[in-house]
Amino acid sequence: MAAKERNERRPAKPGQGAEQPGRVIGSAVSVAINRGFVVGREVLVGSIPGIVVGYNIASFGQFVGSAYPLVVRTALGVTKCGMDEVSLA
């Protein structure tokens, strides 16, 4: 049996290469918390009242946590929001 040819390329270790998505999302959530958007806080999404119910930690998809860190419940349903879309009530 012949030995398999080895490819010398190895996957990058954590901390190498591009910035890790978790760190970017974590910093976006931290900014939101520091600005007063904590769980249970009443907010306005545009002119619609809502309550912060959590934080978006998604690292893939259309609504990633780095751009939309807040999860807000309104009378219209639950939505993921960016910091520019909400204000404190």
pLDDT at 18: 52
Q: How far apart are CA 63 and CA 57, in angstroms?
A: 10
Residues of the chain predicted below pLDDT 50: 15, 17
pLDDT at 19: 61
Largest CA distance in the chain: 72
Domains along the chain with CATH numbers? 21-88 (2.30.30)
